[in-house]
Amino acid sequence: MRGPDYSKLSNWIDSASDRGAVAVITHKNGDMDTIGSALVIAEAIGPKARACGTNIGSLAKRILSDMDYSFHILDPNRPVLPRSLGGIIVVDSASPGQIGFELPSSVPVCIIDHHTSASEEWSNDALIVKADASSTAEMVWEWMKIRSAKLSLSSATLLLAAIISDTGRFKHARPGCYRRVEEISEASGVDPVDVIEKMESKDLNYSQRMGVLKAVSHSNSQDVAGIIVATTKASTHEGVVAHALIGAGAHVAFVQKKIPEGIRITGRASRTATNQGVNLGIVMSNLVSKLGGEGGGHPGAAGWSGEAHPVELESSVLAALSTELMN
């Protein structure tokens, strides 16, 4: 896969800044990769840029708790973006539906994303910057090098936390990931080990632990084309539950959770599974084709949300995984 033209991206950003303010928008799940990437880009652009989105996830909140960063929360029903917009940058979003609201059609849009699968397409007018990278944060770092942008300690911490999070502590790292981590660490003096310790610094409370243990104890497992798949339902921390099931011996774990919009399923896969051809991002995108909703992600970590009966959702995701393994 040919690498992206970061010089073209830099020129697009300069032109957008000349026209007016730049909104750097995250996806609605607010994970560490999307939040960290948006904040670092906004800082590198300068005062005209604003990082914003509809949600900040718990890990991103924890990393940002002692940093002087301004992230603007948007109401998805009435999003208020900066006036006189010169451009919109969308980070870490495989499709428009993942933003959580409709973008204004009159403003130029640029997408910076590393996902290989998407449930819908962006406008033909948009500048789409894609790369075969483990995280969007790695793409941001490559752009910063082209731009010779200053890397603050906080920005380095955000980039490293985003990379560490999106690769599952490097279990799903793609070529070039370790080199970029080393470059960021050397340029800033920030030790990735310190970042990992900070990410793990806040333990689950008693009720959260009980919820995770209950979900794990109620899990079911089965063989799908030689892959051990565990399924369960959870009321909290689906990602933690899925990782616990992987740690217990499953190759793939799917965890359902009821949400106001319907239901969400979170998938995680071990390195062994992804090496054998499992790509949960494609599995979740295929769910969109069958059930509607929104879905996508990475080979080792992905999700889907929409309206479906829990039994139908489980059978559909297992069928999609089986089809993916047979191809």
Q: In this predicted model, which residue has the larger pLDDT, 295 or 109?
A: 109
**pLDDT tens digits, one per residue of 236-293:** 888 889 888 998 999 999 999 998 889 999 999 988 898 888 999 899 989 999 999 8
Q: What is the amino acid identity at position 133?
A: A
17 SS3 class: helix
- The Cα 273–Cα 252 span in angstroms is 7
Asked whether 255 and 215 are in contact (CB, 8 A), the reply is: yes
- pLDDT at residue 2 tops 70: no
Residue 132 resides in a domain:
yes
Q: Are residues 97 and 244 in the same domain?
A: no
Q: Round the average pLDDT of the chain to a whole number and report it.
A: 90
Residue 158 resides in a domain:
yes
The tally of domains found in the chain comes to 2
* pTM flag (> 0.75): no
CA triple 252-254-259, angle to 5 deg: 160
Tokens of 75: 């109401």
Which structural domain, as residue segments, surrounds residue 160? 6-199
The CATH number of residue 293's host domain is 3.10.310.30
Q: Are residues 171 and 270 in the same domain?
A: no
Domain end among 129, 164, 199:
199
Percent of the chain with pLDDT over 90: 59
Q: Are residues 166 and 213 in the same domain?
A: no
- pLDDT at residue 299 tops 90: no
136 SS3 class: helix
- The Cα 161–Cα 141 span in angstroms is 13
Q: Are residues 272 and 171 in the same domain?
A: no
Domain end among 169, 199, 229:
199
**At 6, is the pLDDT very low, low, confident or very high (cuts 50, 70, 90)?**
very high
